[in-house]
Amino acid sequence: MRRRLSLVDRLTIALPLGWLGLFLALPLVAVVALSFQGIADSIPPIRPLIDSLHGHLAVHATTRAFRIIGSDALYTRAFANGLLNAAMTTLGCMLVGFPLSYAMARAPASRRSLYLFLAILPFWTSFLLRTYAWMGLVRDSGPLNSLLMGLGILDAPLPILYSPAAVLLVMVYSYLPFFVLPMYAVLEKLPQDLLAAAADLGARPLHAFRTVTLPLALPGLVSGAVLVFVPAVGEYVIPELVGNNDTLMIGGILWEEFFQNRDWPVAAAIALVTFLILMLPAAALRRWSGASGAGRA
Amino acid sequence: MSVRGHRWRGVVLALGFAFLYTPIAWIVLFSFGGDAGESGHPGLSLHWYRALLENEDLKDAARRSLLLALLSSPLATVIGASAGIALARLERFPGRSALIALLAIPIFAPEVLLGFAFLMLFATLEALTGWPQGKGLLTLVIAHATLGASIVASVVYARVADLDRSLEAAARDLGARPLRVLATVTLPLAAPGILSGWLLALTLSFDDVVTSSFLAGPENTTLPMAVFSSVRVGLNPEINAIGTLMVSTIALVVGITFAALRFGARSRSGAGAGAAPARRGS
């Protein structure tokens, strides 16, 4: 089946490879270089890595940025916060998203595409506006508190807005589609006859679920979890809008180093460390899915 | 399945979709309130829509965002569709795994990290070569096109990988040159994927706040940036009015597109071309 690459083939390869190499790989190289640079009182506010001021080349690499983020508890706490928040968000998406995907996948075939459409549609509406909507829903005088107080469950409004709980709630809400889509895709393809066979052989529904459904659904669960966890680690907008001082995370400190402190090397070091932390689970997933894919084929 | 199974499913679906749609319903409802303050009785009015029409800064930002989305999404589509077609059609070529890795970066990496990295590239390039001169529409278009390309590529890849390869092989066997095969066989068959990829790139660009904040500079505030700085201060029913307009526009566009795609798929398979994937079972 293999044929020689035609000129058209070469162009469809070269265009994306060239563009992404220039505008996606090169920025990462720039960030790595920058994280080893010193600061200067100039525009841009960095000391060049190499200069040839007195006729010979001088290299000014420094580990200053890494020493700063390693020695200040503010940064380690922000990293811990970001990772913890992403882990809780992933767990929340699983708890909400798995039953939802399962119910969607078990629905009659004629209804499934409608449900899938309904699950995707919020994803098309502005993410910022949906976060904003939650601010209105959970504020002290908002519908949620009014409802709980009207039902007599609460005497005074629950201060949810500007708290870690609000961050978690909105994170789970916003990242839910990233979990539901891969999860649903796997559950929908689950062969029904396997469950029927398990039932015929006397397995109770819960036993069949644990020994048949869950192992087969695992690839969807893992890719959904990674798709939620990895971007969630660096989330900036949600903690900024609905969180408080306790919810300063990686995205927040990078933003502040860049926009407020104008310390580009420290911002670059934060970016580099985050990137390295995130590449580990992503690489693990690739290995894992590559191995299982090879096993199936 | 048993009746109990049905009931369980209904409850989960109802709760799940209520969770997904409550915030959107709130935006729409709240936007039609009058100027009664937070506690007053919200009469039905178009007050906030009128306020929106008089807000020149927001209208300016909206125009800029639209221009940005219209410039960056076609670029993203060309780059992303090329990548998707190449990856789906050619099993082996130099740089294949590099291309896959590059396309995965925007999907996985946090936005703050990407926005910062883009700016560092442009700052370094400007220091070395004098290009680009400062931040502005150009840097925004490049960044948005790069991020969008990744989404387009994954959508187009999924579509093209599903297609029947023998159609292209037949065209080649009948003597069609590669460009002709691409233009008359591959592209028309991939069109639904390319269209939805373009739409996704368009909405992503129109919605982006983090990457844009790094690259826009002071004179190029986009609509999401304006919304973000206003929302940081607190609630503002004008934002609800914008939200309602955006939600209804997007719902309309997406609804029409999906309807058109389903209709297209049905009429094509009805014509017996056998090209539309029967997997979806519409």
**Domain ranges within chain B, ordered by starting residue:** 57-234
- Answer yes or no: is A91 within a domain: yes
Q: What share of chain A is helix, strand, coil (3-state, %, to 5)?
A: 75, 0, 25
Highest mean pLDDT among A242-256, B65-79, B192-206, B267-281: B65-79
Does A19 sit within 8 Å of B79, measured CB to CB?
Answer: yes
- The residue among A13, A50, A259 with the most chain B CBs within 10 A of its CB, best to mutate, is A13
Nearest chain A CA: its distance from B70 CA (Å): 17
Rounded CA-CA distance A221/B150 in Å is: 22
pLDDT band for position A117 (cuts 50, 70, 90): confident
Query: Is residue A248 domain-resident?
Result: yes
* B77 strand-pairing partners: none
Look at chain A and count its residues.
297
Q: Do A174 and A127 contact (CB within 8 A), yes or no?
A: yes
- CA-nearest of B168, B239, B193, B2 to B80 is B193
Q: Does the pLDDT of residue B270 top 70, yes or no?
A: no
A65 falls within a domain: no
Residue A58 phi/psi, 5° resolution?
-125, 135
Distance CA B143, CA B106 (A): 11
Phi, psi of A248 (to 5 degrees): -70, 125
User: Which residues neighbour A135 within 8 Å (Cβ) at sequence distance 6 or greater?
Assistant: A161, A241, A242, B231, B235
Would you say residue A292 has pLDDT above 60? no
Structural domain includes residue A79:
yes
CATH code for the domain in which residue A119 is found: 1.10.3720.10
Our CA-based measurement puts residue A228 at a distance from the nearest CA of chain B, in whole angstroms, of 9
Residue B78 at interface with chain A, using a CB cutoff of 8 Å: yes
Q: Average pLDDT, whole number, for chain B?
A: 84
Flag whether pLDDT at B280 surpasses 50. no
Residues of B in contact with A125 (CB under 8 A): 24, 246-247, 250-251
Mean local confidence (pLDDT), A158-185: 93
- pLDDT of A282 reads 65
Contact across the interface for A16 and B79, Cβ inside 8 Å: yes
Find the mean pLDDT for residues B107-133.
89
Work out how many domains chain A is built from and give that number.
1
pLDDT (mean) for B40-68: 81
How far apart are the CA of B250 and the nearest CA of chain A, in angstroms?
7
Model confidence pLDDT, tens digit, residues B21-51: 999 888 888 777 655 444 444 567 787 888 8
Chain B CB contacts of A115 under 8 Å are 13
The answer to whether position A281 is within a domain reads yes
CA angle A261, A266, A267 (to 5 degrees): 75
**Of B110, B146, B239, which has the smallest distance from its Cβ to A231's Cβ?**
B110
What token pair was written down for B138?
A: 């150009």
Q: Which helix (H) or strand (E) holds A58?
A: strand A58-59
Please report the DSSP string for A59-97 in residue order: E----HHHHHHHH-HHHHHHHHHHHHHHHHHHHHHHHHH
Q: Do A274 and B110 touch (CB under 8 A)?
A: yes
Residue A136 pLDDT > 80: yes
Give domain B57-234's CATH superfamily. Answer: MetI-like (1.10.3720.10)
Range of the domain at A174: 73-296
Per cent of chain B over pLDDT 90 is 47
Four-residue CA torsion sign, A19, A25, A26, A28: positive
Q: What is the residue-wise DSSP string for A221-239?
A: HHHHHHHHHHHHHT--HHH
Q: Chain B closest CA to A15's CA: distance in Å?
A: 6
3-state secondary structure of B243: helix
